[in-house]
Structure 1
């Protein structure tokens, strides 16, 4: 986690004195990808990288914020028309506004923050930032907002102030994270369960391709439409219980194969199979069976690459490298079209795998992938 002393030092320099310190983590998602908008499951865990902020009430009606990593300051009021110009400040402003819309009484405060969640690597630095402030303001102003609502405040901030129509998973994981546990969240009912994740003898590591192909948002919307079309067609084919693809079986999908496009069929097949993989992984985690977990990760990658078509050449290359070096499980993590693979690696294979993957990736693509080791950790909290 970002150095506490650093944040304290900058806060003191900028605002003369000290406040309270809060932190929230980024997240990884072990399995359950492109399932959230299909009413299915996701399986995230909070990680040991995140955002940390020092905050103190300042007795005014203005927020004065300093972004340590960017060396930028912003000052803004708490009314709708006070929206700040800087993108990063919009996250803090949005959280304040969403709290106020829910009846929370806020006043001005000073804050400095920094983070060590790699930006653009799919570990949700923005959710970590939102969760830090939602948690902190709730605590400091004694607002009594429950944890679910804190996650929704972060999600609404994305929707209303950042312009990203995200699901709830990132903020949920950041608020509800628990060391040594992954969370299986049912995005339809919002019920959740903690599953033990303490793979003795294994490491969890992300390899970042450092590429982002410019397909993401239009491609995402197209896939969403495909899934909705398939679910509607199954529903109308005498299956009234099918509201989302998570409610459907492969047999029901096969029965409407001639009524939908081949593309819609492939997308739907991936989602239905991915839902089953989440169940398989749940069972495997309860038994401490990480070989099965790894096998399902590879199958998810295959599905995302072949059926959902959201992988890319660089991600497929890293997935093949993982197979070649005996890595237990590997798959593309996140929306796709670039970003990271998440890998479950036996400790004794770790060094050779990382070394070889970096070398062969550089030979082919001219740069090394970035490497991030992650440990499953606690969610939003007061530090001191």
Structure 2
């Protein structure tokens, strides 16, 4: 989005005066799905589209929230920045303000905020995390809170937990804040140790396929998977000292999985443990330039998410099936929380045009939906842009 267009929108809404602009990107996860809240590894990269926030401090004891994408807008007293507003989008930025209050940072006077997002809504590319992170970066800067980036990441995650009711892991907010252009983030979600790995895909494009079947993390299924993983940990704890599924290896799980009496809970755990190992292997392969083997692990990841974790659904499966059967595709899988949203595919340069045509037609024939495709371009994480 052009900065001048955003500034014009802000001035039209709030009147003349100085304004600062910030941006935080969405993300696509290359591999490592539903491992983050289990203390495992993930491998996302920040995207070139995300959420923008324009902000100006005021002398009023209230904060005004306006979006160029949404009809609902709100004005909230600085004394009420710890209270949700119904089930509206403003709860994401309000939830961030609430985290600053918990840190003892007071807002005696308020601000005017304008938001604009170009992450496709409901696509599973972390528009909510980008909204939280851009708010955190903007408030931290404009109000001079001086908190470090990693603290803003944690606060954005807590905003999602407490104001959206989604018990997400930390991957989305971390990638949105800490991502770097031309790199993916290899993150240990337990320790928050991370490595920026150069994303060298010679002769290959990263293609995101939007099923246009919006995912609904707040439907309860996501939180259900969190509970099932915790049940698996509880079942294994008498036989091995663990606090999360990342604490057990594939080999150990093979020996101990019979102790999980609930077959559904066992399959959920099997996905997480195997996905953590796949992520380790995938990163090692990327570093050596073995993109073909990386793609095969992506295919295995989707099969596990489909069969063991059951978070794909007919639309995602239809798109992945069509992609995996298309010449020039090295690998394809769902990405994000699932239950709709997007796929990510490794496609050879010469096959990209054929890929979008063939996969799009096949997908429409199977589902009746018209998909969208984006060539993924990477971006730096949350930052001031003017």
d(CA) in 2 for partners of 1:204 and 1:376? 10
Are residue 11 (structure 1) and residue 13 (structure 2) matched?
no
Corresponding position of 1:371: 373
User: Do the aligned partners of residues 200 and 215 (structure 1) sit closer, same or farther apart at CA in structure 2, a change above 3 Å counting?
Assistant: closer
Query: Relative to structure 2, which stretch is displaced further, 219-228 or 107-116?
Result: 219-228
Query: Relative to structure 2, which stretch is displaced further, 176-185 or 287-296?
Result: 287-296
Q: Name stretches of at least 5 consecutive residues in structure 2 with no aligned partner.
A: none
Corresponding position of 1:249: 249
Shift of 1:200: 2.9
Corresponding position of 1:97: 98
Partner deviation per Cα, 1:314-373 (whole Å, 9 max, x = no partner): 222211211211311110112222221111111110000100111111122222112233
Query: Relative to structure 2, which stretch is displaced further, 24-33 or 284-293?
Result: 284-293
Query: Relative to structure 2, which stretch is displaced further, 128-137 or 252-261?
Result: 252-261
Partner deviation per Cα, 1:221-274 (whole Å, 9 max, x = no partner): 44334433333333312x22x332222133322333433233233222221211
Are residue 300 (structure 1) and residue 301 (structure 2) matched?
yes
Shift of 1:33: 0.6
Corresponding position of 2:58: 58
Q: Normalising by structure 1, what TM-score?
A: 0.93
User: Do the aligned partners of residues 90 and 263 (structure 1) sit closer, same or farther apart at CA in structure 2, a change above 3 Å counting?
Assistant: closer
User: Do the aligned partners of residues 214 and 146 (structure 1) sit closer, same or farther apart at CA in structure 2, a change above 3 Å counting?
Assistant: closer
8 Å CA contact retained: 2:37, 2:170:
no
Partner deviation per Cα, 1:106-154 (whole Å, 9 max, x = no partner): 3311122211001100011111111111101111122110111111121
User: Do the aligned partners of residues 194 and 324 (structure 1) sit closer, same or farther apart at CA in structure 2, a change above 3 Å counting?
Assistant: same
Q: Normalising by structure 2, what TM-score?
A: 0.92
User: Do the aligned partners of residues 213 and 255 (structure 1) sit closer, same or farther apart at CA in structure 2, a change above 3 Å counting?
Assistant: same
Number of aligned positions between the proteins? 381
Partner deviation per Cα, 1:256-308 (whole Å, 9 max, x = no partner): 34332332332222212111111111212222322222111111011111222
8 Å CA contact retained: 2:37, 2:168:
no
User: Do the aligned partners of residues 215 and 193 (structure 1) sit closer, same or farther apart at CA in structure 2, a change above 3 Å counting?
Assistant: closer
d(CA) in 2 for partners of 1:89 and 1:294? 39
User: Do the aligned partners of residues 29 and 313 (structure 1) sit closer, same or farther apart at CA in structure 2, a change above 3 Å counting?
Assistant: same
Corresponding position of 1:200: 202
Q: Name stretches of at least 5 consecutive residues in structure 1 with no aligned partner.
A: none
8 Å CA contact retained: 2:124, 2:215:
no
